């Protein structure tokens, strides 16, 4: 929950329990739907040095529609709190998982480590973040604590986070404005004093000095005043205090570290030159009408509706698909802007180069908001839905990522306000006779062909018979089992080992199971019997458990142990192995009408039924939007009554920033490591 205290949580909880350790006792109180069941109760004695509070609550499902907690969201916020409060340790445990998923957050360096975390996938101008802190007396008698950390990188975007009393003030406030004005003033003063402005006609602006800046500004003060219920902006007047501290501390740092100062000032001067070039380019294109809403791009097929809330624009990959979309759209409210080829990667491009790129300039003009801190105005937005529509192949994914990089770096407010969407064109079309069905992904495709296959079909094994919904559910579980088997095989690199791991009676389901030697021997012994090379039973001292090592089919040493037990795919495979065990009684007698067949194992049975589901049907797998005609594109991807759109959200700004830096930035090694770490999780590889 955002910006609320314990009283609000209590009011929204079905049950709420409070435990306080204080003054040598534990105090407890319980509530139901916000009402105390009894007064605060003094319990047993505890050591005087033990203090703290424990809150246990269960959300009220009659009030809250969604009561499921996302581990990654919680982890992101708690990591942030650990950065903001240096030296504290926060433990997060998810007991819904088996084994329990535990993460610990502890950062002695505080927000200086936060800066390193933010810049880990970027090339920095100076190795150590600049960090300073200070206290100032407030007029009301309280103390204002100010912490600032900053570091420059060779990118062009600004990444600044501001906090007040650990609350992320996403809309800034007086502390952020004080930081920005002081930063601009101090860098200008340092550059002038060092004689670095000989060829510079005017002072550096705020935009110039913030290019490539990563910074965290954190203030703590009594009784802060925020704007709005979500506390997105700090209104308490602390600007002067923040400005004074930065003028003093940053000025001292520059005096002691002239080489770092020169790098920062030089980067800002380069940014100024690029800004001036961009201004000239913008003025030139405006004179030509290219960035003015009165001169919309010629390739834009605009809609008739003038109310932006009712309008949507499709950014379509390719001129050909753009023409098809133009023919298939509802011209009343749908506009089409075809994009030629791959757009510029703005993560690696300066502002002036970006504005010189035709496709980006056309997008800026069509969307209407303008771009840049001085020109962007959300009130001028011409379409409240901006829909990215690309092919379902690797090039389409790349173009989609390039577009998202542009929106994230230069029009982020469009994302935070929920205006950016991704279209979901179908991946398959199944046609049989006059009927046809469009399928959005591989999972739905498997469901559909198995549904078709199992109509009027029975499968007999042993004394049992499967048909209808039970048969379909068995086959879907079997298909998932086979997919997980293949994915685990890519990790282990020996199918014989995976076959043993998939045995339903193997006593190795959880992390704790690998701590019992007898359990691990149940894996070791069959591996020896299978004559898998180099099999050894080893004690895992790091995890206080046991593991089995062996040589895979490439003669590389592999290990099966506790690390495998925490992988969700492994745990799911173990669950399915037990669920499917009762069905593993071949042969399987398959009958559908007059047709009968016998299959001797699961793999053959599944392959046979998938083929049966596609009997007499024509299956088309789409890779390009151009493979559909205008009517098909409308019916599958553009018709609001049946289409699926994915709205682009920013759940974690820090992680999103790092992903774009890693995937789209200059650091090749970081990108290679990311690919290596995630290669085995690829589901749909386009070759």
Instruction: Please give the helix or strand (H or E) that residue 61 lies within, else none.
Output: none
Report pLDDT digits (tens) over 152-208: 998 888 999 999 999 888 888 999 999 999 999 999 999 999 999 888 888 999 999
Are 196 and 317 members of one domain?
A: no
Look at residue 661 and tell me if it is in a domain.
yes
Domain containing residue 38: CATH number: 3.30.565.10
The residue assigned the tokens 């306000």 is: 417
Classify residue 5 by its DSSP letter.
-
pLDDT of residue 4: 65
- The domain that contains 188 carries what CATH number? 3.30.230.10
Give CA–CA dist 189/185, Å, rounded. Answer: 6
Query: What tokens appear for 498 in the block?
Result: 């995976």
Residue 262 falls inside a structural domain: yes
Do 460 and 527 lie in one domain? The reply is yes
Do 101 and 47 have their domain in common? Answer: yes
Residue 139 has pLDDT above 90, yes or no: no
The verdict on 447 and 401 lying in the same domain is no
pLDDT above 70 coverage of the chain, percent: 93
The C-alpha angle with vertex 72 and arms to 578 and 119, in degrees rounded to 5, equals 135
Structural domain boundaries enclosing 522: 435-632
Looking at the structure, do residues 467 and 616 belong to the same domain, yes or no? yes
User: Please, what's the largest Cα pairwise distance for the chain?
Assistant: 94
pLDDT-derived band at 293, boundaries 50, 70, 90: very low
Q: Which residues are catalytic?
A: 317, 391, 393, 395
- β-bridge mates for residue 435, sequence order: 432
- Mean pLDDT in residue range 267-273: 91
> Does residue 663 form part of some domain?
yes
In sequence order, what are the beta bridge partners of 135? 145
* CATH number of the domain bearing residue 499: 3.30.300.370
The answer on 388 and 515 residing in a single domain is: no
Rounded Cα gap, residues 518 and 545, in angstroms? 11
Q: Is position 286 within any domain?
A: no
Q: Which residues contact 164 (CB under 8 A, 6 or more apart)?
A: 173, 175, 218, 219, 220, 221, 224, 226, 231, 234, 236
Q: For residue 179, which of 145, 138, 148 has the smallest C-alpha distance?
A: 148
Tokens standing for 533?
A: 């090379």
Place 284 in a pLDDT band, splitting at 50, 70 and 90.
low
Residue 462 has pLDDT above 60, yes or no: yes
Half-sphere exposure of 430 (CA within 13 A, CB side): 19
Clarify whether residues 184 and 273 are in a common domain.
yes
Judge if 519 and 377 occupy the same domain.
no
Contact predicate 494/485, CB 8 Å = no
Helix axis angle, 239-256 relative to 174-193, nearest 10°? 30
93 and 179, same structural domain? no
| 80: Cβ contacts below 8 Å, ≥ 6 apart | 114, 168, 654
The enclosing H or E element of 308 equals none
Residues 383 and 457 occupy one common structural domain: no
- Domains in the chain, number: 4
Whether residue 639 lies inside any domain: the answer is no
* pTM listed for this prediction: 0.67
> Of 280, 303, 333, which marks where a domain is finished?
280
The verdict on residue 194 lying in a domain is yes
Q: Is 232 left (phi over 0), alpha (psi -120 to 50) or beta?
A: alpha
pLDDT in tens, 633-656: 999 999 999 999 999 998 778 788
- Among residues 105, 135, 159, the one where a domain terminates is 105
The answer to whether the Cα torsion of 502, 507, 508, 509 is positive or negative is: positive
User: What separation in angstroms does the CA of 314 have from each of 300, 331, 344, 360, 416?
Assistant: 10, 12, 18, 14, 19
The answer to whether position 426 is within a domain reads no
Do 209 and 264 lie in one domain? The reply is yes
**Mean pLDDT over each residue of the chain, to the nearest integer:** 89
- The rounded radius of gyration (Å) of the Cα atoms in the chain is 30
Write out the two tokens for 23: 């003054």
Contacts of 277 (CB under 8 A, 6+ apart): 352
Judge contact between 345 and 650, C-beta under 8 A.
no
For residues 197 and 262, the answer to whether their CB atoms sit within 8 Å is no
pLDDT band at residue 499 using 50, 70 and 90 as cut-offs: very high
- Using pLDDT thresholds of 50, 70 and 90, give the confidence band for residue 373: confident
**Structural domain includes residue 374:** yes
* Token pair of 574 as six digits: 């173990």
Give mean pLDDT, residues 446-464.
93
Residue 242 sits in the same domain as residue 122: yes
């Amino acid at each position: 929950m955002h910006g609320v205290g314990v009283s609000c949580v209590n009011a929204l909880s079905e049950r709420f329990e409070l435990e306080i350790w204080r003054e040598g006792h534990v105090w407890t109180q319980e509530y139901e739907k916000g009402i105390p069941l009894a007064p605060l109760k003094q319990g047993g004695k505890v050591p005087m040095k033990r203090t703290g509070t424990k809150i246990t609550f269960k959300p009220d499902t009659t009030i809250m529609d969604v009561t499921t907690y996302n581990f990654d969201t919680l982890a992101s916020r708690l990591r942030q709190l650990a950065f903001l409060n240096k030296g504290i340790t926060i433990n997060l445990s998810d007991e819904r998982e088996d084994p329990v998923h535990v993460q610990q957050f502890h950062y002695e360096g505080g927000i200086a480590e936060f800066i390193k975390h933010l810049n880990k996938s970027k090339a920095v101008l100076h190795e150590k973040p600049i960090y300073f802190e200070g206290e100032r007396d407030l007029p009301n008698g309280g103390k204002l604590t100010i912490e600032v950390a900053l570091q420059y990188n060779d990118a062009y975007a600004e990444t600044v986070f501001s906090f007040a009393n650990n609350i992320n003030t996403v809309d800034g406030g007086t502390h952020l404005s004080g930081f920005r004005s002081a930063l601009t003033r101090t860098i200008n003063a340092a550059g002038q004093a060092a004689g670095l402005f000989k060829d510079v006609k005017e002072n550096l602006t705020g935009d110039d000095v913030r290019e490539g800046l990563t910074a965290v500004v954190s203030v703590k003060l009594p009784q802060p005043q925020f704007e709005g219920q979500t506390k997105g902006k700090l209104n308490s007047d602390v600007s002067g205090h923040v400005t004074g501290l930065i003028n003093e501390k940053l000025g001292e740092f520059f005096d002691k570290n002239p080489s770092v100062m020169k790098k920062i000032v030089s980067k800002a001067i380069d940014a100024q030159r690029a800004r001036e070039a961009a201004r000239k380019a913008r003025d030139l294109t405006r004179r030509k009408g290219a960035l003015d809403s009165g001169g919309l791009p010629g390739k834009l097929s605009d809609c008739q509706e003038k109310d932006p809330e009712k309008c949507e624009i499709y950014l379509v990959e390719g001129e050909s698909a753009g023409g098809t979309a133009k023919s298939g759209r509802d011209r009343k409210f749908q506009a089409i802007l075809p994009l030629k080829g791959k757009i510029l990667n703005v993560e690696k491009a300066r502002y002036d180069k970006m504005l010189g790129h035709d496709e980006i300039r056309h997008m800026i003009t069509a969307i209407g908001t303008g771009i840049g801190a001085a020109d962007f105005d959300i009130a001028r937005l011409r379409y409240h839905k901006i829909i990215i529509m690309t092919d379902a192949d690797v090039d389409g994914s790349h173009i989609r990522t390039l577009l998202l990089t542009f929106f994230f770096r230069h029009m982020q407010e469009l994302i935070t306000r929920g205006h950016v969407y991704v279209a979901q064109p179908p991946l398959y079309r199944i046609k049989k006779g006059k009927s046809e069905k469009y399928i959005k992904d591989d999972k739905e495709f498997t469901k559909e062909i198995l549904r078709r296959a199992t109509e009027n079909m029975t499968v007999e094994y042993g004394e049992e018979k499967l048909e209808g919904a039970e048969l379909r559910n068995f086959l879907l579980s079997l298909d998932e089992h086979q997919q997980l088997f293949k994915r685990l095989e890519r990790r282990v690199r020996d199918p014989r080992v995976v076959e043993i791991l998939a045995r339903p009676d193997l006593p190795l389901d959880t992390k704790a199971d690998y701590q019992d030697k007898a359990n691990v021997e149940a894996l070791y012994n069959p591996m020896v019997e299978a004559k898998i090379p180099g099999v050894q039973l080893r004690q895992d001292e790091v995890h206080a458990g046991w593991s089995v090592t062996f040589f895979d089919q490439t003669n590389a040493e592999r290990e099966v142990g506790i690390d495998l037990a925490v992988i969700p795919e492994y745990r799911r495979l173990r669950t399915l192995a037990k669920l499917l065990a009762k069905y593993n009684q071949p042969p399987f007698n398959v009958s559908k009408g007059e047709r009968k067949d016998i299959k001797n194992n699961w793999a053959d049975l599944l392959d046979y039924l998938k083929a049966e589901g596609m009997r007499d049907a024509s299956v088309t797998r789409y890779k390009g939007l151009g493979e559909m005609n205008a009517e098909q594109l409308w019916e599958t991807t553009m018709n609001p009554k049946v289409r699926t759109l994915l709205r682009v959200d920013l759940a974690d700004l820090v992680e999103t920033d790092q992903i774009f830096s890693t995937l789209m930035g200059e650091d090749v090694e970081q990108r290679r490591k990311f690919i290596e770490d995630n290669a085995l999780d690829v589901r749909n590889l386009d070759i």
